[in-house]
Structure 1
Amino acid sequence: MTPKPHGAGHLLGDPHHDGSSLYVSTLVPRLGESVTVRVRIPLGFAERGVHLRVVRDGEPRMSPARLTEVTDTDRWYEAEVLVHNPVTSYRFFIDAPGGYLWLNGRGVFAREVPDIADFRLTVFEPAPVWMTDSVVYQIFPDRFARAIDDKPLPDWALPAEWDDEPIGSGHGVATQLYGGDLPGVREHLDHLTELGVGTVYLTPIFPARSNHRYDATTFDRVDPLLGGDEALIDLSRAVHDRGMHIMGDITTNHTGSGHEWFTTAQADRSSEEASYYYWTDDATGYVSWLEHASLPKLNYGSAALARRMIEGPASVIGRWVAPPYSLDGWRVDVANMTGRFADQDTTHEVARTIRATMAAVNPESVLVSEHFHDSGADMMGDGWHANMNYSAFTRPVWSWIVAPDSAVPALGLPTTLPRRSGKDMVAAMRDFDAVVPWKVMATQWNMLGSHDTPRLRSLAGSLEMVEVAAALLFTYPGTPVLFAGDEVGAQGLNGEHARVTMPWDDPDRWDSDTFEVYRRLIALRRSSEALREGGLRWVVVDDDAVAYLRESAEESVLVLVARAPWAGATLPGSLVAQGSAAQNLYGGAPLTASDAGLALPGDGPGVQVWRLR
């Protein structure tokens, strides 16, 4: 639900709380610690009182909040949350003249609401600051850059020229090989530096029998087609020398059918490796990922597999995080399925084990899951630090910015992508954001595309709409992730077709205007504490425009994005200090307070960002 505006076309008349430091005294409390939480009630709201509702040991408890401050715009109430459980949920009860209201992570409601969207405090450490301060750049190694000439090709490969269009479906989609490699990535790190990237994320680099390499044949070495172990060592060193980080991609859910463990297991069902897999009486004789026989599923009921794959510094997970490879973390493929089969569900245990292994080797390492749908139940923060945020960011934004005449398929659904209103977009974002703790929501990997999706430019249809979407990416809470090529206007209609090569020497495929949009927006994010760390307060939710405040103790930034001309809105002039004007950070239009307030322009499509204080 999106609350109805209480003011002149804006939502600033609504009570507000989020999990940022403006509203929560301790972001990483200890078990048994009391945390002060604050809620702001606009002066025109006329509440009779505010209470805090906390769920302790499964039972709700109510306590009065105290009025502690009155400003020119708000009354501030405070209450104490005892962190009695590792995950402690709370919401606010507001006694209002028209009947009591509930305030939770989805907004303000004049009805009963379930606990699933309550605010949460957890005792778990969030992702290291370097990740949320960073912009992540995803590289599909086969398609980024080629530095090693005359590589002998494996017998499964279908050779492609660098400018060939990727096969989008059918024969050759997984075997078309362009020959990109890790030395090629190293040669183009200047491009990432110029763009403002802070983290390099590589899709799998282990030997396999496909161009995507999610069907690993071993986890013990880097694919020689990519340059081998030394190429990874060299790339990791070069990335770190620039003050950047590097992350890998691992399939904990399955191996390839050509993996050395699986071939041993098939040859000798009494071997230790045989315990690593699930065996059946059907045609293939084993369980595989989504019934793809090339991807046999790993069985974490096997303690031997856990020791080999995820447990301890000598495991696969631990080895590559340690020197000399020194990966700064892992993105885990189909994390939602790892450890889950029939009546077995050890996903959370697997995630916690991986995180403990990584922390023992590198306490500043990051663990990110892939989960395409509702990941809330898996994202309390004790295992995966963050998730690839398709549900709470990618899909809602796509549905808002997609070209009206687009024929691009909806991801994973038997239809084309629909065009929806800003109200629908924000409702979906709030629904999914509210079911995870703020610490997780503020670190989620937000994306406008990946190696598994259509390209943003193909969805949006124009540079103007790419800019609108990119502005959301770089100003919304979370960690921005972009897929290599989006910054120069790459196109593609599905995941495989979108895995185009970087057009280093092809000016016809290199859109410098798009690059400048990305570079400027990344620089904007890097220049603002509020955009990196601040809370989120929705201000305007219109069919064709949305605006929100990102606020920290030191800074308040107003973001306005519009996909089309709209009616505009007038905000309270008190948002800007008397006698001063908002500082324009992006978009060029001034925003000055008058007696009538702050007038948001109805231009569109476009992006405007102002620093209010």
Structure 2
Amino acid sequence: MVLSSARRSTTRCLWRCSKKMTNHIMQGIHHDGSAVYVSNPLPKLGETVELRLRVPQDAGVLRVFIRSTPDGEEHWEAMEKAESDQVSDFWVGSLKITMPVNPYCFKLISENGGYYYNALGLFPHDMPDVYKFKLLANWDAPEWVLGSVFYQIFPDRFCNGDPSLNPKDGEWSYKGKAVKLRQWGEPPLPWTESGSLDFYGGDLVGIQQKLDYLQELGVNAIYLNPIFKSLSNHRYNIDDFFQVDEHLGGNEALVALSDAMHARDMRIVLDLTPNHTSNTHPWFTAAQKDPNAETADFYTFYNRPDDYLAWLDVPTLPKLNYSSQKLRDWMYRNDDSVMRYWLKAPYNIDGWRLDVYNMTAKQGALQLSKSVGQEMRQAVKAEKPEAYLFGEHFFDGTPHLQGDELDATMNYRGFNIPLWHWLAGYDNGTEWRPETVDHRHLSSEALVGQLKQFAAVIPWVITRQQFNQLCSHDTTRILNIVKGDKALVKLGVAMLMTYPGVPCVYYGDEIGMPGGKDPDNRRTMPWDEAEWDHDLLTFYKRIIRLRRTAPALIEGGLQHLYAQGGLWVFLRESKAQRLVIVGYRGDDTLNDVMIPLRHGGIADGTELVDLLGNMSACVEQGGVRIHTIKHGDAFIFELH
């Protein structure tokens, strides 16, 4: 078909006008799962909640509907324009909570056509249900995590509190290597040389001795790498799920640490390997010797004794087979099962981090992860409803984050990795498959795109409790990721502490500890303060305090406001507080920068006060003007 010149011009104009209108509404319209927009973010089955939608007054919206699908059938609920302020209209409507998961979206009829608005944004066409907002009914939320800042500790490398517990040189051998006790401060040996048998003597007694330090830092929860009986320093090859390693102080040391932490209103979460055991675990050795052993079906043998399924073909880590009902009983279903035992007195731990959760109960044609994950949740929550249950997952954990399995994952794809890529052009594949990595910086637009995609497919109440880190025992440390650029470290910390989720500091990051890939990232914590970066430590203390006291960071929603080049701006909003966070990772200094804020519902005349510095500004002509933004700058503006 050939259009006349006039018709082509008209078509281009209509397309541009429509695109402009779509972009304008897309930026200004907003809803999320926080209490600002949902009357009860944690409703009960049968409850009716009120939903609010913020719409720019000049968007030309005529009618708005809530579209839901109770029992799979479409239902439309008309909304009413209930109130207005200087910038926005607020539409209100009700949603009946009829199912465990209640998806919904909005349909807007405007002067320029119809639009669908979901958790990903605004579209001129319908979208798959996966992107709908979701409210969970009867959700056992561990709400204590919302006000928590975690601190991850690799036990052997944090503090040697009782040298009498130290392993002795040659005390045992494993995989052809013998135990070697290293001097505190010596660099970890490569795996090939040590066989993970280089120990430094860190223990639970030492952690308890350093609780004053941790409280002064501001953290109020600890995530411990494995502490159960094992032959290696990392203890991911567990020999006994019911015995804390004697070189860490044994079960008594855990009781003492847990009691001391709870007396300080601190929480403790342990690390468990439900995917595998060691090849020296009694469950496995019995199964290996006897096909009629009580634990014989806990594993998959192709040809006894030495041909069996192991995690990533590592023979020292035989994989557990959850087609065994007895294994399920012993691991989590029975009252005295592994996962329930440590939640009880006298240990009273506050949750579990589940190692290799992305592969647990999966082996070829036998895919049992969903049923096993659901049963694990049921068992843990029956024992302790407020327990925090999160899993290791370097990839897309969406299927496990729908309200019937995990409370959270280690949010690598939804936070850590895109942030690394934005800050430093670094991807997790940099270490393992460098040929797959584009080392150019991720643009702010692409960063926000990835963050929104991963958050849009899970319920908001899970997004706000995702486990976020800058680095961990499995990754290069943040100081090395940014090649020693402390300004970028501070920027990363600011984003970690202000973005939705539960932030966690890897031990030593707060004092500027370097570290390459494993095992270099597991160095001993230096306790000589002359070795500390005190400026960085002061920054950590200040921003951790802010994270734990600012209502908008504890319970507020999220709206991305601006993303261009190296500049990233977002809004955190609660009923009590609004914060605008600005981060810049670009190399060039920006001068006289105008940041648009009107589409965040922020009116002219609003005063902005930076909580990290002494800057203040006023919103004019729909935005705020910042005279200078330098490499690594972060601003946390409180709105007044």
Kindly tell me: are residues 413 and 85 of structure 1, through their superposed partners in 2, closer, same or farther at Cα, counting changes over 3 Å?
A: farther
Kindly tell me: are residues 11 and 82 of structure 1, through their superposed partners in 2, closer, same or farther at Cα, counting changes over 3 Å?
A: closer
Kindly tell me: are residues 282 and 64 of structure 1, through their superposed partners in 2, closer, same or farther at Cα, counting changes over 3 Å?
A: farther
The 10-residue stretch of structure 1 (339-348 or 484-493) with the greater mean CA deviation from structure 2: 339-348
**Structure 1 residue 609 and structure 2 residue 636: aligned?**
yes
SS at match of 2:61: coil
Alignment correspondent of 2:6? none
CA contact (8 A) 2:167 2:181 kept: no
Alignment correspondent of 1:468? 491
Q: For residues 185-212 of structure 1, what are the alpha-carbon distances to aligned partners after superposition, in whole Å with 9 as ceiling and x for unaligned?
A: 1111111101101101111001112111
Residue 288 of structure 1 aligns with an amino acid whose one-letter code is: A
Residue 607 of structure 1 aligns with an amino acid whose one-letter code is: A
For 1:176 and 1:11, the matched residues in 2 are separated by 59
Alignment correspondent of 1:322? 344
Alignment of 1:261-410 (within 5 A): 261-281=283-303, 284-402=306-424, 410=430
TM-score by length of 1: 0.93
Q: Which residue, 104, 119, 122 being the options, matches 1:105?
A: 119
SS at match of 2:307: coil
Kindly tell me: are residues 427 and 168 of structure 1, through their superposed partners in 2, closer, same or farther at Cα, counting changes over 3 Å?
A: farther
Alignment correspondent of 1:489? 512
Q: For residues 149-197 of structure 1, what are the alpha-carbon distances to aligned partners after superposition, in whole Å with 9 as ceiling and x for unaligned?
A: 2534332323322112223553326222222111111111111101101
SS at match of 2:520: coil
Shift of 1:501: 1.0
CA contact (8 A) 2:477 2:515 kept: yes
For 1:218 and 1:418, the matched residues in 2 are separated by 45
C-alpha root-mean-square deviation of aligned residues, in Å? Answer: 2.5
**Structure 1 residue 194 and structure 2 residue 216: aligned?**
yes
Kindly tell me: are residues 491 and 168 of structure 1, through their superposed partners in 2, closer, same or farther at Cα, counting changes over 3 Å?
A: farther
Residue 181 of structure 1 aligns with an amino acid whose one-letter code is: D
For 2:19 and 2:605, the matched residues in 1 are separated by 27
For 2:595 and 2:400, the matched residues in 1 are separated by 40
Alignment correspondent of 1:456? 478
Shift of 1:358: 2.7
Q: Which residue, 625, 629, 632 being the options, matches 1:599?
A: 625
Kindly tell me: are residues 182 and 83 of structure 1, through their superposed partners in 2, closer, same or farther at Cα, counting changes over 3 Å?
A: same
Kindly tell me: are residues 288 and 594 of structure 1, through their superposed partners in 2, closer, same or farther at Cα, counting changes over 3 Å?
A: same
Q: Which residue, 164, 172, 176 being the options, matches 1:155?
A: 172
Q: For residues 503-538 of structure 1, what are the alpha-carbon distances to aligned partners after superposition, in whole Å with 9 as ceiling and x for unaligned?
A: 112633x21111111111101112211111000011
CA contact (8 A) 2:88 2:601 kept: no
SS at match of 1:19: coil
CA contact (8 A) 1:12 1:42 kept: no
Shift of 1:282: 8.9
Kindly tell me: are residues 476 and 572 of structure 1, through their superposed partners in 2, closer, same or farther at Cα, counting changes over 3 Å?
A: closer
SS at match of 1:85: coil
For 2:242 and 2:489, the matched residues in 1 are separated by 40
For 1:235 and 1:149, the matched residues in 2 are separated by 17
**Structure 1 residue 129 and structure 2 residue 143: aligned?**
yes
CA contact (8 A) 1:10 1:541 kept: no
Residue 610 of structure 1 aligns with an amino acid whose one-letter code is: F
Shift of 1:11: 8.9
For 2:335 and 2:356, the matched residues in 1 are separated by 23
SS at match of 1:39: strand
For 2:214 and 2:475, the matched residues in 1 are separated by 22
Number of aligned positions between the proteins: 606
Kindly tell me: are residues 173 and 608 of structure 1, through their superposed partners in 2, closer, same or farther at Cα, counting changes over 3 Å?
A: farther
Greater fraction helix: 2
Shift of 1:357: 2.8
Shift of 1:54: 1.5
For 1:429 and 1:304, the matched residues in 2 are separated by 40
**Structure 1 residue 424 and structure 2 residue 449: aligned?**
no
Alignment correspondent of 2:596? 571
SS at match of 1:582: strand
Kindly tell me: are residues 125 and 530 of structure 1, through their superposed partners in 2, closer, same or farther at Cα, counting changes over 3 Å?
A: same
Alignment of 1:71-82 (within 5 A): 71-82=85-96
CA contact (8 A) 1:277 1:297 kept: yes
Q: Which residue, 83, 97, 112 being the options, matches 1:69?
A: 83
CA contact (8 A) 1:5 1:14 kept: no
Q: Rg bigger for which structure?
A: 2
What is the percentage of aligned positions where both structures have the same residue?
35
Q: Which residue, 609, 612, 626 being the options, matches 1:583?
A: 609
Shift of 1:117: 1.5
For 1:116 and 1:125, the matched residues in 2 are separated by 19
Shift of 1:576: 6.5
Q: Which residue, 47, 64, 70 being the options, matches 1:56?
A: 70
For 2:191 and 2:434, the matched residues in 1 are separated by 16
CA contact (8 A) 2:66 2:106 kept: yes
Alignment of 1:553-568 (within 5 A): 553-564=575-586, 565-566=589-590, 568=593
Kindly tell me: are residues 11 and 167 of structure 1, through their superposed partners in 2, closer, same or farther at Cα, counting changes over 3 Å?
A: farther
Q: For residues 409-452 of structure 1, what are the alpha-carbon distances to aligned partners after superposition, in whole Å with 9 as ceiling and x for unaligned?
A: 52553345542111111110001011110000010001111110
For 2:542 and 2:26, the matched residues in 1 are separated by 29
Q: For residues 458-511 of structure 1, what are the alpha-carbon distances to aligned partners after superposition, in whole Å with 9 as ceiling and x for unaligned?
A: 112311101111111101111001110111111122132211111112633x21
CA contact (8 A) 1:588 1:608 kept: no
For 1:495 and 1:64, the matched residues in 2 are separated by 56
CA contact (8 A) 1:276 1:299 kept: yes
Residue 72 of structure 1 aligns with an amino acid whose one-letter code is: Q
Kindly tell me: are residues 382 and 434 of structure 1, through their superposed partners in 2, closer, same or farther at Cα, counting changes over 3 Å?
A: same
Residue 299 of structure 1 aligns with an amino acid whose one-letter code is: N
CA contact (8 A) 2:288 2:304 kept: no
For 1:563 and 1:222, the matched residues in 2 are separated by 44
SS at match of 1:207: strand
Shift of 1:602: 4.7
CA contact (8 A) 2:151 2:506 kept: yes
The 10-residue stretch of structure 1 (543-552 or 569-578) with the greater mean CA deviation from structure 2: 569-578
Alignment correspondent of 1:47? 61
Shift of 1:286: 1.4
Q: For residues 217-275 of structure 1, what are the alpha-carbon distances to aligned partners after superposition, in whole Å with 9 as ceiling and x for unaligned?
A: 11121101111111111111111111101111101111111111111111221011112
For 1:555 and 1:588, the matched residues in 2 are separated by 19
Kindly tell me: are residues 581 and 533 of structure 1, through their superposed partners in 2, closer, same or farther at Cα, counting changes over 3 Å?
A: same
Alignment of 1:514-553 (within 5 A): 514-553=536-575
CA contact (8 A) 2:25 2:56 kept: no
Residue 100 of structure 2 aligns with an amino acid whose one-letter code is: P
For 1:273 and 1:533, the matched residues in 2 are separated by 46
For 1:249 and 1:186, the matched residues in 2 are separated by 18
For 2:594 and 2:606, the matched residues in 1 are separated by 20
Unaligned runs of 5+ in 1: none
For 1:5 and 1:395, the matched residues in 2 are separated by 32
For 2:622 and 2:91, the matched residues in 1 are separated by 28
Kindly tell me: are residues 601 and 207 of structure 1, through their superposed partners in 2, closer, same or farther at Cα, counting changes over 3 Å?
A: farther
Alignment correspondent of 1:414? 434
For 2:38 and 2:281, the matched residues in 1 are separated by 48
The 10-residue stretch of structure 1 (164-173 or 377-386) with the greater mean CA deviation from structure 2: 164-173
SS at match of 2:609: strand
